[in-house]
Structure 1
Amino acid sequence: MEKIVYSSQIEKDLARYLSTRKYSKLGVIADSHTVQTCYPLIQSSLPEHAVFVFDAGEIHKNLETCSQIWQWMTEQAFDRKALIINIGGGVTGDMGGFCASTYKRGIRFINIPTTLLSQVDASVGGKLGIDFMGYKNHIGVFTQPEAVIISDVFLKTLPEAELRSGYAEIIKHGLIANANYFESLKTENWASQNWKDIIEVSVGIKESVVSRDPKEEGLRKILNFGHTIGHAVESHYLDTSNHLLHGEAIAVGMLAEAFLSQKYLRLSHDELQKIESKILGVFGKVSIPEDDFDAIISLCFQDKKNEGSILNFSLLTKIGHCEYNIAVGKEEILQSLRYYNDLTT
């Protein structure tokens, strides 16, 4: 597993960490937003380094940007002793780590996640990848970063929509592994919580799962609750005017898959209502026209948990416990999307 560092003084802690490492050259990868808002918070603690900046947004998490990063690494003459720092959200960590882990068959990298989403989810666990042909994280590898340095100071740079996007993964952690944690999470005034403590609990849940199943051969699939439908919704609207943030799409997915949990694993009606109340209270509803249902269902067939033509879901038996490899039919996915559309806020 990667080393997790919780930092209260990011400049000092990063400088201290780098002073203990040996590397030939140092490179920083950031997107066009992060280089302005977050990179200045660590810049003075870095020794001589090169910086690569790419255009912000999930739409740029693709092979074309990877080619530019690999070209930059080559032009900088990075060898296999070089070290990369990925500073930014999930797109930067996923893509920067993927490029580092494939350049010259792999060079070391550390992640400094700057969004709530990347701090509790994307930067922990060694899943790296890019989108391809409109499919989320379709090309990728499992490679652990050398370290993940987490500081809640970066959360002050986020708009509320980005903070809420990360909150979806926190709610998921409670749903799949800790009912008391789920109950403790606020619906009202959710943005004013003690993020430092919440991040540590959520990372602990994810680390516990990943340590037992690093390559997602079984148990780790529970971390994908809400993601089969959620990723399909996110992918469908990715390049449209109705674009959804990751957490907004996962909120849709968790509600639809909670409905499937009641249908397949007998999640109680009372617990389904608790899930509805929590998620709708934070995220409200988005409009998903029924004309889009077939395309969304087709995208579910590209989910990485599937086996052949069998659609495998991770579903809840109760709040705090999740099962994986639950085969779900196309008609039932259609029902779950209709259920979502019929919900009232």
Structure 2
Amino acid sequence: MGKLLNEKGQVYRNEIAWEIFSDSIKKLQPSGIFILTDENINKHCLPYFLKRNNFEIVPQIITIPAGEIHKNINTCLKVWETLSEKGADKNSLIINLGGGVITDLGGFVASTFMRGLPFINIPTSLLAMVDASVGGKNGIDLGHVKNQIGVINLPEMVILDTEFLNTLPAEHLTSGLAEMLKHGIIHSKEYWERVKNIDVSKKLEFEALIWDSIEIKKEIVTKDPLEKNLRKTLNYGHTLGHAIESYFLEHPQRKTLLHGEAVAAGIVLASYISVETYGFTKESLQDVSKTIFKYFPKQSFEKNDIEAIINLLVFDKKNRNGQVLFVLMEDIGHHRTDCIVSNELIYSAFDYYKNF
């Protein structure tokens, strides 16, 4: 893959990736290697990773509890303390082996410990491969509000090996599809048509789509690394999606949604709002809605749920001067950023979602 902002942050895939990874470790000559994983990754992915690599220094494993609920400052404190106790210094290397929670939190921990340690992302989930591990966004949640604390800082590299996807439960694989479908909507009709009919059982075709999805994100991030304009399009479906995800995290009586499940709902809602505001066609809305509901179960939202979700929108990072700003579409591949949407229209969007 071409350069992503500078030499750091490049993404390498499959066999060549492991050779580059091994060479890079030799060049970095770290004083210590720390692998950050969670309980599930430790069991299902770590053995394969260790089998693929021969380290001159024995890596030390740091394992955190699994799940978005642990993507917070308390977990960071424990990881920072562990690094300190295990003698990490400015020349240590952190390897983030896991899904989006690990790459987000691990990148933040590495970026802040001793004012910054080098880190490498090795995503093991589809979501982390096509989204979380690429582009240099690192961070944690503040309470139940998504990604409120963080930095933009590129990893030394991202290593992509689709073998890790064989360890994923089905719903986690599907969760990553939401980001790929989003890339289709914001990028082009050509990619949308390909990705909406994705068949994960066709390995080569699936891998090609994953790679194209990463290329789309890379191209956007390269043009707008600090999210001044174009990079905002990557938030399509995320304004309401993040609020929905936060709301479900906040209410233990509701089943916690995976990131992709919440974003999938947000995509349908944003597509309806796009029809009502910027002329996104009803045919495209039908197409997007059918595709989303083919992969993602419909969630139920009562009036009080929607009210609480709307109240959570004030925490969205794209807001300016107290205004909630949406990314909306005029057509597949043609976007508008910084759009103001009325609460009345949001309620109508939820009504559409419920009755589709």
Query: Structure 1 length normalisation: TM-score?
Result: 0.96
Q: What is the alpha-carbon distance in structure 2 between the residues aligned to residue 190 and residue 10 of structure 1?
A: 22
Q: Are 2:338 and 1:325 aligned? A: yes
2:46 corresponds in structure 1 to 39
CA drift of 1:228 comes to: 0.3
Alpha-carbon distance in structure 1 between the residues aligned to 2:198 and 2:141: 34
- For residues 5 and 11 of structure 1, the distance between their equivalents in structure 2, rounded to whole angstroms, comes to 8
In structure 2, C-alpha distance between the alignment counterparts of 1:60 and 1:173, rounded to whole Å: 27
3-state SS, counterpart of residue 34 of structure 1:
helix
Measure, in 2, the Cα distance between the counterparts of 1:284 and 1:141: 33
* Other-structure match for 2:324: 311
1:217 corresponds, among 199, 206, 228, to: 228
Are the aligned partners of 2:181 and 2:196 in contact in 1 as well (CA < 8 Å)? no
Q: For residues 204 and 224 of structure 1, what CA distance do their matches in structure 2 show?
A: 17
Equivalent in the alignment of 2:158? 148
Alpha-carbon displacement from aligned partner over 1:159-197 (angstroms, at most 9, x marks no partner): 110000000000000000121111112447555453321
In structure 1, runs of 5+ residues without a counterpart are: none
The letter for the 1-side match of 2:96 is N
- Tell me if the contact between 1:187 and 1:282 (Cα under 8 Å) persists in the aligned partners: no
Structure 1 residue 12 displacement after superposition: 5.0
The corresponding residue for 2:238 is: 227
> Aligned partners of 2:325, 2:155: CA distance in 1, in Å?
29
CA 1:327–1:40: 2 relative to 1, 3 Å: same
> Residues 211 and 22 of structure 1: is their aligned pair in 2 closer, same or farther, counting only changes over 3 Å?
same
Equivalence map 1:1-345=2 (5 Å): 1=4, 2-8=9-15, 14-44=21-51, 45=53, 46-47=55-56, 48-187=58-197, 189=199, 192=202, 194-239=205-250, 240=252, 241-343=254-356
Which SS does the other structure have where 2:249 is aligned? coil
Q: Distance in 2 between matches of 1:201 and 1:68?
A: 37
CA contact (8 A) 1:111 1:147 kept: yes
* Maintained 8 Å contact 2:32/2:59: yes
Deviations 1:308-333 (A, max 9, x none): 22110011110122221111122221
Residues 192-229 of structure 1: CA deviation (Å, up to 9, x unaligned): 45332111100100000001111111110000000000
- CA-to-partner distance for each residue in 1:31-83, whole Å, 9 max, x for gaps? 00001111111114133111100000000000100000000111122111111
Aligned length: 343
Aligned 8 A contact 2:96 2:107 in 1: yes
Q: What amino acid is the match of 1:291?
A: N
For structure 2, the residue ranges without an aligned partner over 5 or more in a row are none
Task: State the AA in 2 paired with 1:297.
Answer: I
Q: What's the secondary structure of 1:8's corresponding residue? A: helix
By how many angstroms is 1:291 displaced?
A: 2.2
> Stretches of 4+ moved more than 6 A in 1?
none
2:195 maps to a residue whose letter is: L
On the 8 A contact 2:198/2:206 being kept in 1, the answer is: no
Are the counterparts in 2 of residues 188 and 282 from structure 1 also a CA contact under 8 Å?
Answer: no
Does the 8 Å CA contact 2:72/2:143 hold for their aligned counterparts? no
Matched-pair identity in %: 39
- Contact 2:181–2:192, Cα closer than 8 Å, also in 1: yes
Distance in structure 2 (CA, Å) of the matches to 1:8 and 1:313: 40
Q: Which amino acid aligns with 1:328?
A: V
Pick which of 40-49 and 294-303 moved more.
40-49
For 1:301, what is the secondary structure of its paired residue? helix
Preserved contact between residue 18 and residue 159 of structure 2 (Cα < 8 Å): no
RMSD: 1.5
